[in-house]
Structure 1
Amino acid sequence: MTAARTRGWPLSPATVRAVLSGHGILGLAFAAVIYLVCLTGTLAVFVHDLERWEQPGQPRAAVIAAPALDRAVATARRLAPPDAGLYIGLPSGAEPGATLVAYSPAFEREWGIASDGALAAKATPFADFLLDLHIALHLPRRWGAFIVGLAGVALLSSLVSGLLAHPRMFKDAFHLRLGGARRLQEADLHNRLGIWALPFHVVIALTGALLGLSTLIVGVLAMLLYRGDTTRVYGLFIDAPPAVDRAAAPLPPLATLLAEAQRRAPGATPHQIIVERAGRSDARVTIVSVRDRLLVPQDTTVFDARGAVVKDQHPRDLVVGTRILGGIGQLHFGWYGGVAVRVLYGLLGLALCVVTSSGVTIWLARRRDKGRADPRWERLWAAVAWGQPLALLLAAATAVAGAGRTAVAVWLVTTVLLLVGAGAARPPASRLAAGLRATSGGAGVVLAMIHLTRVPWTSTGTIVDALLLSGGAWLLWRHRRGAVAGRA
């Protein structure tokens, strides 16, 4: 009889080892989800730039006259179902070009609006793929968002526990041991990036958890306050629709409504127009305006089908809680500023990716130091950490090739092949990671060069090409430097 069974444990040592191995793989898989969410979130900061990168020929008018908006709405009403709401994004200094989205539960289409009001079909499958991968992992939205929310909670817990587990973290904030043991370098980089960008990391993890678990939070509040009636919880933040009246009624001219909204909010600039139930007597037109130095739009004027104001809300009317809720999404994605804000978010997001990846690398290295190394786990993590950038680059290449709708399949197949190959391969994880770094760097440079040959250098989407070139060149330089050091 085995020692385990003599102690009364019903499982054999071999079974216990298999369970522990499965436990480790499960933990590694969840760490991979956290890393993927962090990586795609970093890229999602540039999703509007990616849309321009995918379709550089989209209209980019700096100003759209109200009559042109009326023509755009009229055209969209002919192309969309009668129950579709129309969401018009107006151009601004940070985001040139106007867009119109027609949406209903069974229909969704987006167009760019030219200066004369003509609609140009807008299709950005890679940007859509990336955003959905970050928000819901391409799973059914409710379940995918829930998993992403759990990843945010786990990330927030890791940040707090990491802070508590390193009492000298602030004291050693600028202490880097370079040139020594690789594990010490990884640990120092992990700790320094973790402390330097800690406020950003906490905000991103907290807002991500709140966004991902919003459905669960609403359900809990409904059970506690309204006997499970979720509509009453949503009613705290969303106005109830007007009484149904399907009688035909013309839509008021947008010029009149825009002028009235600006008169009521003299310090604000119209940012979005929402048209609901157009052509009916219960129609509503909402004009949302933005102000400088405010994180979220806080001026809202709502008109009925006759052009009468039914709601007029300004910053002074909002309680603190409503302002905070309105700012969660903006804080999380960094879409409230210009290029400088997006680049800052991108750099801090990369730091979070490094912290997440190096945390697992350090854990695996400590297992090796204690004589419990698992080369397969190390290779699998290398395939995740450096294989995901490559998989996303190959998915982005589908947009340049005009096959953007295959992005999901390309990403999924590449991910599966890399994981299967890493599990079956025998080279050390360090060699696998180096090869994937070099391949990702080369892919980024090649993709940017091919794209630049197809678009004008003045295209607003070339910020993506600049990031691809700089990131790819850095990865290639790092690979070459490592190869030279290895030969020395």
Structure 2
Amino acid sequence: MQQKTHKTLYSSHSWIGIISGILLFIVTFSGIPALFDHEIEYWQYPIFSEQQSKQQEKVFDLERTIQASKEINFQHEKFFIQPANDINNHIIFAHFYEDKEPDLRYLNASNYQEFPPSPSELNHLLAHLHTDLHLPNPWGRYLVGLSGMAMLLAIIAGIFIHLKWRKEFVMLRPKRSWRLLLTDQHKLLGLWSLPFTLILAFTGTILGLLGLISPILALAAFNGDVEKATVAVLGPRAEITGEYAPVYPLNTLFDQLEIDLPNTSVELIQVDGLQASASDQHTELMADVGGIIKFSGYHKDKLSNLETVTYNLTSGEKIHQGSFVGKGPFQRIFAAVTPLHYVLFGNTWLKVFYALSALAACGLILTGNILWLHRRGHGMEHWLSKLTLGICGGLVVATSLTFAGSQILYGLNLAPDSGLHHHAEEWVFWSSWLLMILAPFVIKDGFKLSHYLLRLTSIGFIVTLLADGFINNRWLWLTEGWILTIQLSLLVSALLFIYLDWKMPNQVSKKS
């Protein structure tokens, strides 16, 4: 490679990384808990755990589920049902309003009795940070998509500038200078996490910019007809006529899925056109003759696995079926984006690998920022160093403290139906993050502050485990399944930050 080209690529790699680095760290780190969105909800709410331990293997009864929704006065013509799965033993009903919070109800999958939802919103707080940065729709998602694009460009440039990758794959010189140690760590993290970061950047770009990409895809495949493209992928909408008829036997339709969607795990059921009724539980359900019921799920053996089938609510006629299995390569790649990004395939260990790779990507971003500053003679007093330490380190601390605070709030049981738990979590998260952002501008010794942040993070995770043990009697040696997995993850995280605090120097010179 010519020296001028190499220099251009090196410069592009550095500047793309430094401009987008802090934003990329926020998106990447918040993506780790977003991977375990449902698992965190299950682990946090003891009622879910108690139900799981009592769960017996049962066939999902769709008709009884719908009847149970009427018994709890869930009166909506259009709503969604999420059946129980391997993680949570509860059925969720959801109706979404345009101008207020959704109506969410939870049923025990064993006895179809309603129970209160979790007062915690920690999993959604972190997941929303990953997908939208808590900014207005769609601008936050577009910004996340652009950060993914920047990451993809930086990775491509990095591949071309690191020509001696075989040697750099195992090179680590811990006893040399601080700059060499940063350089080696940056290269090691980048090379070892390369497959994941490529997948993360590519899929994140598409998901973030999907609102902009969709019209282009529709133009290419459907002559610009976005509605036609949507119907082709997701199925038709209900055509409400105002004429009602008895609902077709829903369990018969659910059994039909074994023929229409073989080897598919049904994750979501959409009902549109069911007549809202205040009558007793034995009354026959009615639906609009144009109403639909749509089943969506993931094929168990395919990567491009999204499949849907739509039936008429009153006649039971199959009116649409969408599947990417067996389609062309472009459609299969497009359909694989979401499963690849959120690990909707494989097993538990694959999710764990993704989480570790995301953590490596966070280290890659941090070492890249610090290395860029160090090579230009800037120390911890530089404003970009302070922002990197405050925003990135502060996010990690805020996450740890919010986990601990949330578990303590469960013990206090502060009027769970009032929303105080959720608002307290938000207050802990945002206030602690803001304090950490301001801290580097007050505490001049950046290395000392770094040690404080590492210790605070480890303390937060340890307090979380202790609170869970004392409040819920869920100690490591008494738990199993996903509860044990989450607890071990918290313990390993605490030990990792203790180790980093031990190994990180207290001070280095700019020239070392």
TM-score higher than 0.5 here?
A: yes
Matches of 2:34 and 2:353, distance apart in 1: 13
User: Matched residue pairs, number?
Assistant: 457
Deviation at 1:266, TM superposition (A): 4.6
Deviation at 1:422, TM superposition (A): 1.1
- 1:165-244 alignment, distance < 5 Å: 165-221=161-217, 230-244=226-240
* Cα distance change on mapping 1:276 and 1:462 into 2, 3 Å: farther
Per-residue displacement from partner, 1:393-414 (whole Å, max 9, x unpaired)?
A: 2222342114233333322222
Matches of 1:335 and 1:315, distance apart in 2: 15
Counterpart selection for 1:111 from 87, 93, 106? 106
Matches of 2:264 and 2:129, distance apart in 1: 34
Counterpart selection for 1:385 from 388, 392, 405? 392
- Note if 1:101 corresponds to 2:88: no
State the SS of the aligned residue for 2:309.
strand
- Would the aligned equivalents of 2:145 and 2:208 in 1 still touch at CA under 8 Å? yes
Aligned to 1:31: 21
* Cα distance change on mapping 1:26 and 1:418 into 2, 3 Å: farther
- Would the aligned equivalents of 1:248 and 1:280 in 2 still touch at CA under 8 Å? yes
State the SS of the aligned residue for 1:57.
helix
- Would the aligned equivalents of 2:145 and 2:206 in 1 still touch at CA under 8 Å? yes
Matches of 1:53 and 1:358, distance apart in 2: 33
Deviation at 1:302, TM superposition (A): 2.3
Aligned to 1:52: 42
* Cα distance change on mapping 1:191 and 1:79 into 2, 3 Å: farther
Deviation at 1:225, TM superposition (A): 8.2
Matches of 2:405 and 2:19, distance apart in 1: 27
Aligned to 1:412: 430
Which sits farther off after the overlay, 354-363 or 175-184?
Answer: 175-184
Aligned to 1:6: none
* Cα distance change on mapping 1:426 and 1:270 into 2, 3 Å: closer
Amino acid at match of 2:78: A
Matches of 1:129 and 1:226, distance apart in 2: 37
- 1:136-147 alignment, distance < 5 Å: 136-147=132-143
- 1:43-82 alignment, distance < 5 Å: 43-58=33-48, 59-60=51-52, 61=55, 63-67=57-61, 69-77=62-70, 79-82=73-76
Aligned to 1:3: none
Which sits farther off after the overlay, 70-79 or 221-230?
Answer: 221-230
Contiguous gaps of at least 5 residues in structure 1 = 1-23
Deviation at 1:81, TM superposition (A): 4.9
Amino acid at match of 1:434: H
Counterpart selection for 2:147 from 148, 151, 156? 151
**Percent same amino acid at aligned positions?**
21
Deviation at 1:129, TM superposition (A): 0.6
- Would the aligned equivalents of 2:294 and 2:310 in 1 still touch at CA under 8 Å? yes
- Note if 1:465 corresponds to 2:487: yes
Which sits farther off after the overlay, 310-319 or 201-210?
Answer: 310-319
Deviation at 1:137, TM superposition (A): 0.7
Matches of 2:74 and 2:219, distance apart in 1: 37
- Would the aligned equivalents of 2:65 and 2:112 in 1 still touch at CA under 8 Å? yes
Matches of 2:263 and 2:223, distance apart in 1: 42
Amino acid at match of 2:443: A
- Would the aligned equivalents of 1:149 and 1:208 in 2 still touch at CA under 8 Å? yes
Aligned to 1:261: 257
- Would the aligned equivalents of 1:88 and 1:101 in 2 still touch at CA under 8 Å? yes
Counterpart selection for 1:348 from 357, 365, 375? 357
Deviation at 1:36, TM superposition (A): 0.5
Aligned to 1:321: 330
Matches of 2:354 and 2:68, distance apart in 1: 37
- 1:274-285 alignment, distance < 5 Å: 274-278=270-274, 279-285=287-293
* Cα distance change on mapping 1:88 and 1:250 into 2, 3 Å: farther
Matches of 1:319 and 1:112, distance apart in 2: 40
RMSD, aligned CA: 3.0
- Would the aligned equivalents of 2:80 and 2:94 in 1 still touch at CA under 8 Å? yes
* Cα distance change on mapping 1:317 and 1:87 into 2, 3 Å: farther
- Would the aligned equivalents of 1:62 and 1:97 in 2 still touch at CA under 8 Å? no
